[in-house]
Amino acid sequence: MDRFVIISGCSGGGKSTLLDELRRRGHGVVVEPGRRIVAEELKAGGAALPWVDAAAFARRAIEMSLADRAGAESKAGWVFFDRGLIDAAVALRHLTGDALVETLGRSHRFNRRVFLTPPWPEIYVNDEERRHGLAEAIAEYDRLCEAYPALGYQVSILPKVSVEARADFVLAALGDHQG
């Protein structure tokens, strides 16, 4: 769907902060599935965690992303996704070799322009839900930089500027301030 826009990229690169700014400006936002899954699994004592059972975590992220996408159809205007379906499928392929990313990437389309946050060591921090190091985050970023163009998406790397300037960049790149 053309009004569904993916904000992805390197962990700790400022995606959530950017999405908070886009929400503040009145746009629809879908929160990152991974963070929600980790919070739920930690609360329930579950094992679908990236540091316990990464493949189960990726499969659950795919399921949640499909549900998020279906639920977003009722929202008007731009809807920005903090990671989501393609990211989860790329992770599953990396972990298991599963080629689901090609199927899902072609059958569940988003806006052709995808925005990626580059590695930004100066703002990268770990927390209860992000336990992997910067090197792992960069390796994931590199996989995404290959996967999105291979699926026909046009990648725009976000500049390392203020959150307001990043939001302006995204909206200007989209060219249509619908919503």
CATH of domain 4-174: 3.40.50.300
Q: DSSP per residue over 50-113, as a string?
A: TTT-HHHHHHHHHHHHHHHHHHHTTS-S-EEEES-HHHHHHHHHHHH--THHHHHHHHS---SE
pLDDT in tens, the chain (179 residues): 689 999 998 777 788 899 999 999 999 999 989 888 988 888 898 888 888 888 998 999 999 999 999 999 999 899 999 988 889 899 888 888 888 777 776 778 899 999 999 875 555 455 555 555 567 877 888 989 999 999 999 999 999 999 999 999 999 999 854 54
